[in-house]
Structures are given as C-alpha cells and as structure tokens.
Amino acid sequence: MLLRRLIPALALLTAVLTPVTTASTASAADNPYERGPAPTNSSIEASRGSFATSQTTVSSLVTGFGGGTIYYPTSTSAGTFGAIAISPGYTGTQSSISWLGPRIASQGFVVFTIDTNSIYDQPDSRASQLLAALDYLTQSSTVRTRVDATRLGVMGHSMGGGGTLRAAESRPALQAAIPLTGWHTDKTWGSVRVPTLVVGADGDTIAPVSSHSEPFYTSLPSTLDKAYLELRGASHFTPNSSNTTIAKYSISWLKRFIDNDTRYEQFLCPKPSGTAIAEYRDTCPHSI
C-alpha cells in the first residue's frame, strides 16, 4: 500500500526535476564559441592557459599598419577562435605589449600585436591601423582559417588605448574593447556600442585617470556593458610588462563578450576587489 502511494509521488518529482536538469545542460552546451575548460581564479591568473600556442611574423611591408606578430592556438581541434588586435602606445613598438600575445592566445584566442606605421602616430591613426590589422588577420593572413571574423576585439596602450576607443566607435560590430591607461584628447564616447573595459592606473601622470580613463568610462552609454578597473600602485607604463590583474580581467572580458562565455561572469560581477585594485565600477554583464 505504501509503495503504491509512493510511486505516483516519485513520478511527479522526476517529471518536475528532469526538465530543469536538461535545460541547464543544454544551456551550457548551446554556446558554440565556448573554448577551454571551466575557468578558475588560478587558470585565468596563470601565465599560460590550456592552449599550446604558436606564432608567426607579419612583415612591415603590409598596407595599413606596420606589421606585427600573430599568436594563435596550435591545435585546430576546438574550431575557429575569436581574435584581438593590440596596439602599442606613443613611441612604443609591439615589444611593449608583446607579453599579452601568448598569454591571451593560450586562453583560446588569436592575438595580433602590431607595430604602427610610425611610433609617433596619434590615436585616431592607431584606430585605423587596428582595424586594418583585423582585416588583414581575417582576410589575408596565414592563420585566417583559424579566425572567426564575426568575433573580434581591440586593445591598446596609451595612444593605442585612445585608438581602441576610436576603433570601437568606428566599427560597432566589434565584440570587445580594452583601452589600457588610454590617452586621447576626445573625452566623450557616447556613441560606442562595443562592450568596453577601461583600465586606468592610480599613479598615471601621463594620462591621469581624472582626465582620461574616468571620463572615458563615464561618457560611455549607461546601457552599455562596461567596466572601469583602476590599478593600485601602478603607472602609465604598467601595461608594458606582465601584470596578473590586467591579464585576469582582460581575459575574463574577452571570454565573456567575444566568446559569449558566461562562465567568466563570476570574475566580473559582483565587482572584484583586492589589494591590486584601487577602484572598480561596472554595469555588470547582461547574461545571454
């Protein structure tokens, strides 16, 4: 008698729970752009991710920018990858931002660190060169078949950071933008539609956050997925050498918005804190 009463109850419980489990599993499997294992603090703070990488040099004779180096996952078994072009700052060369190449590529991206036509190029010129580099990467490069041309982003240091903002404004189809201690005379970016992580430094005397990174962030639309990360005890040139905080949140941002990978939201929202972070503001990523 007791068994007969329990069977309907168990059947009902199974019917209620099964769709939830199935939907959850389907949700995780539905993202075709997910690359790599589930992230942890250790995995995104590590100097290298789960993908072995290779690199290839691009000649300075190409049209539109000054050449550079492409870093990419060696294996193609995971499919195509999102890609990022990165510009150095005023008087800088790609060597000043080269550490970002293998570090980000090893997390499952194709990364193009570029040289500019002239080390004195201004931000808007660097913007055009970042976009030219992405076009070269997706259309002409030897690794073009590894790149998903619909999932692209831009990064840059100093005037390259200002160029990053201009490139995002010029090409709203981009999926992510990260200006690093950016410099630009234009302080208003209300027309940007690309998810943007603005990185500033509390000790920056060349592009002080009060007149650059903070107004950049504030001027971005309030409806935009955006964040402002201010590094503690850092200078304008902190992005020119390996930095775990920059890498951790840049990787999380690129994964979330180029790969649509919501597994990385945990590192962005609720807003992070710690001894390396002077300030963090955000709108919290909107779940897909």
**Which is more confident, 97 or 21?**
97
Q: Tens of pLDDT along 64-118?
A: 999 999 999 999 999 999 999 999 999 999 999 999 999 999 999 999 999 999 9
DSSP character string of 65-105:
S--EEEEEES--TT--EEEEEEE--TT--GGGSTTHHHHHH
194 pLDDT higher than 60: yes
Which residues belong to the active site?
Answer: 158, 204, 236
- 6: pLDDT confidence band, cut at 50, 70 and 90? very low
Distance CA 210, CA 203 (A): 11
Give me the pLDDT at residue 12, please: 42
Determine which of 27-31, 44-48, 233-237 has the lowest per-residue pLDDT on average.
27-31
Residue range 15-28: mean pLDDT, rounded? 37
Give me the pLDDT at residue 30, please: 81
160 pLDDT higher than 50: yes
14 pLDDT higher than 70: no
120 pLDDT higher than 80: yes
Is the peptide bond preceding residue 73 cis, with omega within 30 degrees of 0?
no
Give me the pLDDT at residue 23, please: 34
Give me the pLDDT at residue 29, please: 54
- 232: pLDDT confidence band, cut at 50, 70 and 90? very high
Query: Which of helix, strand or coil describes residue 181?
Result: coil
Give me the pLDDT at residue 285, please: 67
Helix axes 123-139, 159-170, angle to 10 degrees: 60
Distance CA 85, CA 70 (A): 9
Give me the pLDDT at residue 22, please: 32
Give me the pLDDT at residue 287, please: 56
Q: Tens of pLDDT along 240-279?
A: 999 999 999 999 999 999 999 999 999 999 999 999 999 9
